[in-house]
Structure 1
């Protein structure tokens, strides 16, 4: 049985963690990128689908390509971040189920392409959330965003893999406290929850 995390750990992951619009000059190493993946990959997905496909934009060229697909507000954030990441989704994730879900042939469960796309979106979004939690747990900060043109991102980064589509993007680095907004409110349990 798992033990409860300390309040300090919960603060790091949730309560005091923030979304950053800018970062310090401290670099992010390739080893840290691997460490994020090596944590986030353990997060649960339906039938262990693991549909997320990540593009780590580390070079100026890659960040410029991603910024060109993004809104005027988000482009500068992408360019200035040490790393920007495309969280993509493999709509043919079922091809990998014999490896990742080997105890039964689950591929027929996802024969319908439309249902498969919905499942890829749902589970890659989960994996994107695990990405954020893993980054925070490892002492890094993120700036997830939706302000971009999916079709342009897909053409720029997934042209050779037409079964993969972009879900969302995020920046990654050591957050600059001067770039965060005032803490926004969160609802009390009673506002949006029902115990049936």
Structure 2
């Protein structure tokens, strides 16, 4: 093999990892989530902009507020998961950028002045960070159930009333429960995806 990760790590993060649909009752601690974040925050983004914002939904009241905006097929599993994370892009991420970006001095001016550019960049780079987050959940020995079946406008208003955040995904997190996995869907082969020019 030409990969630096050993086979067990490859299986944990990719080959054997699946989207979980049921979870055990074992809780997910704040310490676990912090360890996940402290690992995945090093994933690259353009200009190191880091637009991802995470809302951990733990309370019954918060869970009820979220579940009402989930698609019908996602409501029960969201209500029952040990932890749910709302992953969103902060469209005002530029306010957290350093005052000087030595490699890209023009970048901050662009993000300050061009809202469509800023929102597109927040969405793309927030989605990258969301993917790193899912890999981090797997690295912690937990299962993730990422979902996009929800009313985005409802979640944005319910949890981000400032109008400056856009939900990217809702992720159920925990140890997998009984019958957690749907059959694995096929993946495209290398030759179907990769070309060389």
Q: TM-score range by the shorter chain?
A: over 0.9
After TM superposition, list the pairs within 5 Å mapping 1:96-115 onto structure 2.
96-98=96-98, 102-103=101-102, 105=105, 106-110=107-111, 111-115=113-117
Q: Choose the corresponding residue for 2:129, options 127, 130, 134.
A: 127
Instruction: Give the gaps of 5 or more residues in structure 2.
Output: none
Shift of the alpha carbon at 1:33?
1.1
Q: Which residue of 2 aligns with 1:50?
A: 50
Q: 1:19 aligned to 2:19?
A: yes
Q: Which residue of 1 aligns with 2:8?
A: 8
Structure 1: how far apart are the matches of 2:138 and 2:31?
Answer: 15
Aligned length in residues: 192
Structure 1: how far apart are the matches of 2:37 and 2:158?
Answer: 23
Q: Which residue of 1 aligns with 2:29?
A: 29
Q: Choose the corresponding residue for 1:142, options 138, 141, 144.
A: 144
Instruction: Give the gaps of 5 or more residues in structure 1.
Output: none
Q: CA RMSD in A?
A: 1.5
Structure 2: how far apart are the matches of 1:193 and 1:63?
Answer: 42
Q: Deviations over 1:117-143 (max 9, x none)?
A: 111000000000000001101101100
Q: Which residue of 2 aligns with 1:193?
A: 194
After TM superposition, list the pairs within 5 Å mapping 1:80-91 onto structure 2.
80-91=80-91
Q: Which residue of 2 aligns with 1:92?
A: 92
Structure 2: how far apart are the matches of 1:34 and 1:10?
Answer: 23
Q: Deviations over 1:156-175 (max 9, x none)?
A: 1011x321121111110011
Q: Which residue of 1 aligns with 2:78?
A: 78
Structure 2: how far apart are the matches of 1:184 and 1:72?
Answer: 22
Structure 1: how far apart are the matches of 2:70 and 2:96?
Answer: 31
What TM-score comes out, normalization by structure 1 length?
0.93
Secondary structure of 1:168's counterpart equals strand
Contact 2:57–2:63 (CA<8 Å) still a contact in 1? yes
Q: Deviations over 1:22-63 (max 9, x none)?
A: 101111111111111111111110000100000011112211
Structure 1: how far apart are the matches of 2:94 and 2:14?
Answer: 32
Shift of the alpha carbon at 1:177?
4.8
Secondary structure of 2:97's counterpart equals helix
Greater mean deviation of Cα atoms: 182-191 or 14-23: 182-191
Structure 1: how far apart are the matches of 2:143 and 2:61?
Answer: 22
